[in-house]
Structure 1
Amino acid sequence: MRFLTLAEDDFDYGAPESVAPGVRRVVARNPSKFTYRGTGTYIVGGGDDVAVIDPGPLLDDHRDALARALDGRRVRAILVTHCHADHSPLAAWLRAETGAPTFAHGPHGAGGADWDIGSLPDDFGRPPADGAGAPGVDHEGGADAADAAGEPVVEESTDTDFAPDVEVRDGDEVFACDGVTVTSLHTPGHTSNHTCFALDGDEAGRILFTGDHVMGWSTTVVSPPDGDMDAYMTSLRVVAGRRDDVAIPTHGPPIPDPAGYVGGLVEHRIERERQVLDAVRRGRSTIPEIVTDLYADVRVELHRPAGASVLGHLVKLVADGDVDAGAQGARPRLDGTFAAT
């Protein structure tokens, strides 16, 4: 799988930059192994009326940069792809400032399953004391941007306070102005409420804002219980079957030929599932064992998010009847044991 990069000299933190006709991006200074160079907030609309997609994290400098970029424009809609803390928290401030309603599929966990997934050993995924480790980058939920972020975060945090003013479903129109129409596309998988937003514009053409569902720099972490690998694969195939001119994720650069790229992601995920099943058949019975086997050339500090995605694959494999979770039944856990059927 060939991934795309966004060099640090290709953008300036806090500076609004055009990425397509009528679309500007403001990047927050929150780089990490989950956010790559940082959260890209998108301002859509070439005239005085605009929509904002993923206002971003609670950072004063990002809030101030967004206020400067919006100066003189009327925000008509605030669109949130999902409720991780690098995407939605600043929506509350923007709504209070502008009076614009927020749009999303629902609050975090809307329609998702919930169960105790257990935990990985405390020392799993910690780099050696001497700082040595595998130099490679796997792109399974992590990349070299973590190096620029200092101490990487352990996991994505969730904005449980967010609830949209308007709950949207597939095909709902959420913004229309000056030759631009934006509609919603529910894409569960990364989270159960994840939604992409599709722009159809006279000048911009067909753009799909993909949030974390499709990212050019990395594959997406699909972490149970709210993440669902089966739903994610179904949603990926929906996006692969569309005819968009470009996909624009919240993190990283725009993706040309999104149908071809997402088709490659589908194949990548199918291959990863095959590798996880093969590892279990070879006697790797725990998630740390599977991750250590499959991600041997990946920096150790990226093993924990890789473990979350491996659990996602195992949930699907158990549901498909290919793997037995023993006493866990149909609810595999991070600290569970697994065997091939």
Structure 2
Amino acid sequence: MSGDDAAVTRIEVPVDTRAPGGTTNAYLLDGVLVDPAARTDALDAAVAERGSGDRDDPGVEAVAVTHAHPDHVGAVAGYADMTGATVVAREGHVDRFVDAAGVEPDRTVAPGETVADTAVRVVDTPGHAPDHVAFGVGEPGEQSGRSALCCGDLAVAEGSVAVAAPEGDLAAYLASLERVRDAGYDRLLPGHGPAIGDPAAACDRLIDHRLDRERDVIAAIDDGAADLDAVVDGAYEKDVSGVRDLARATVAAHVAKLVAEGRIDAAWRARLSKHGLD
């Protein structure tokens, strides 16, 4: 367990997915429990420390997720039951939330709104997933050292974030990174790995990584690659044999963006459909 200040507590929760490092960060962000991936003793203790072991004194007012992927939602129902907190889902994506979390939300929120009766703001950050949001505290842009954005799978301190077709939208992801970079948060609190102390540099690094990969995809197509697997072979220098399905889905997200922008032949749309990645 680690806490950056009195209002933010991070708990690493082991998950049985491809999550980086095998863990997902759950956060207690003011009165909101964000991304409880699984019930653990450490997270139970952190929740109880906030006064939420007792339904009559709910130190946790709401349970929310950045997006409805399995490694972020596994214990939403359990902690809602433990605390009596309000379960919150993103407006317009309730069915997706229910399918993943196994519980109906008590209320929905939209970007720009606050969560339940807290000061935690909902920030629109689609791209990694269509329902992806982040949760902000403090006033970004004031350089007070107190603003933070719990950003889920928008950013990581090292490496990169998967943006994989069919649900990953690369154009939306890049736009989300640009908005967060320009907002001026003091810290990013990612879904995996340590806190990010220089959000602008991290966002720029991730944008550059995606644009570099885009250039590799275009070069592979220009060199004659005629299907997704051939593009994967041309666009990646490293061995991706152990994660080829993810590499293919990532390339497909790049191809979908390039088709939408009119930068490659529209015939590629049918090639995406062949793999169920359109």
TM > 0.5 between the two?
yes
Alignment pair present for 1:266 and 2:243: no
Q: TM-score, normalised by structure 2?
A: 0.84
Aligned counterpart for 1:80 among listed residues 48, 62, 65 = 65
Note the 1:147-296 alignment, pairs <5 A. 159=100, 161=102, 163-174=104-115, 181-200=119-138, 205-296=146-237
Give, in whole Å, the separation in 2 of the partners of 1:313 and 1:85.
Answer: 24
| 1:66 alignment counterpart | 43
The alignment partner of 2:72 has SS state of coil
For structure 1, the residue ranges without an aligned partner over 5 or more in a row are 1-15, 112-157, 337-341
Aligned residue pairs, count: 263
Tell me, yes or no, if the aligned pair for 2:37 and 2:75 is still in contact at 8 Å.
Answer: yes
After TM superposition, give the deviation of residue 172 of structure 1 in Å. Answer: 0.8
| 1:93 alignment counterpart | 78
Tell me, yes or no, if the aligned pair for 1:82 and 1:108 is still in contact at 8 Å.
Answer: no
Q: Deviations over 1:39-62 (max 9, x none)?
A: 1111123xxxx32111113xxxx4
Note the 1:258-337 alignment, pairs <5 A. 258-326=199-267, 328-329=269-270, 332-333=272-273, 335=275
Alignment pair present for 1:104 and 2:89: yes
Q: Deviations over 1:8-53 (max 9, x none)?
A: xxxxxxxx321334211111122754333401111123xxxx3211
After TM superposition, give the deviation of residue 250 of structure 1 in Å. Answer: 1.1
For structure 2, the residue ranges without an aligned partner over 5 or more in a row are 52-58
| 1:26 alignment counterpart | 11
Amino acid at match of 1:92: A
Identify if the C-alpha distance between structure 1 residues 34 and 286 changes in structure 2 by more than 3 Å, giving closer, same or farther: farther
The alignment partner of 2:46 has SS state of helix
Identity over the aligned pairs, expressed in percent? 31
The alignment partner of 2:41 has SS state of helix
After TM superposition, give the deviation of residue 204 of structure 1 in Å. Answer: 6.3
| 1:56 alignment counterpart | 37
Identify if the C-alpha distance between structure 1 residues 110 and 241 changes in structure 2 by more than 3 Å, giving closer, same or farther: farther
Tell me, yes or no, if the aligned pair for 2:86 and 2:116 is still in contact at 8 Å.
Answer: no
Amino acid at match of 1:191: A
Tell me, yes or no, if the aligned pair for 2:75 and 2:101 is still in contact at 8 Å.
Answer: no
After TM superposition, give the deviation of residue 185 of structure 1 in Å. Answer: 0.3
More helix by share: 2
Amino acid at match of 2:62: A
